[in-house]
Amino acid sequence: MNRGRPREFDREEALEKAMQVFWRNGYEATGLSELLSAMNIARQSLYCAFGDKRSLFLEAVRHYVETQSPHRLIVMLGAADSPLAGIRQTLEALVDVPSDQQVLGCLLCNASAEFGMRDPEIAQIVRDGLASIEEAFAQALRRAVDRGEVTQDLDVTSLARTLTTTIVGLSLLARLQVDREHRRDVVKSTLRLLG
């Protein structure tokens, strides 16, 4: 039985490059030739390894959730000595996003804006990604309550949702290149909710 030619590219590396192209351009504005060039693979290899463009996009957005914003945020919150310090550092990091990343914004937010509810599968990936961020904030807030850093009556769920929404807003403001001082004011106001 012929097994075919072995794959001659690193699938994870190709996926990372596809994610970067989709992140920069969005789905509709990304052409197949641009993807093939960035991924350094042939058309047939793309179809064999990833399926069609939409399947590649779905996988790229999932890859983003696993390697970028949600993943990094969860790591940052978990690594902080103090839960409140971790929340503060996370929000402040979004103010100080390097200018080359500001234009990109958040791939989850970009996908949501581009597709809305037209594609339920993409909408679900976005909701799941945002839910993981919300849960990371909720865990940090519960640790803060347990450590006495905030009052026992803190509404953890509502505040975790507020922090998640703040992150989405900061990402949009960064993409629109709203000045840092404006974004810093948003963070200061949000941090006041923590007491």
Question: How does pLDDT run across 135-155, given as a tens digit for each residue?
Answer: 999 999 999 999 999 999 999
Tokens of 48: 């064999």
Q: Write the single-letter amino acid at 13.
A: E
Comparing CA positions, the residue from 145, 141, 132 lying closest to residue 191 is 141
* Averaged pLDDT of the chain: 92
- CATH numeric code, 11-62: 1.10.10.60
Mean pLDDT is lowest, of 5-9, 18-22, 121-125, for 5-9
- Residue 60 CA to residue 118 CA, distance in Å, equals 18
With vertex at residue 116, the alpha carbon angle to CA 161 and CA 99, rounded to the nearest 5 degrees, is: 70
Q: Write the single-letter amino acid at 73.
A: L
The CATH class that applies to domain 68-192 reads mainly alpha
Interval 109-128 mean pLDDT: 94
- Over residues 75-117, the pLDDT tens digits come to 889 888 999 999 999 999 888 877 777 788 899 999 999 998 8
**Which residues make up the CATH 1.10.10.60 domain(s) of the chain?**
11-62
**Which residues make up the CATH 1.10.357.10 domain(s) of the chain?**
68-192
How high is the pLDDT of residue 3? Answer: 53
- Residue 60 CA to residue 68 CA, distance in Å, equals 11
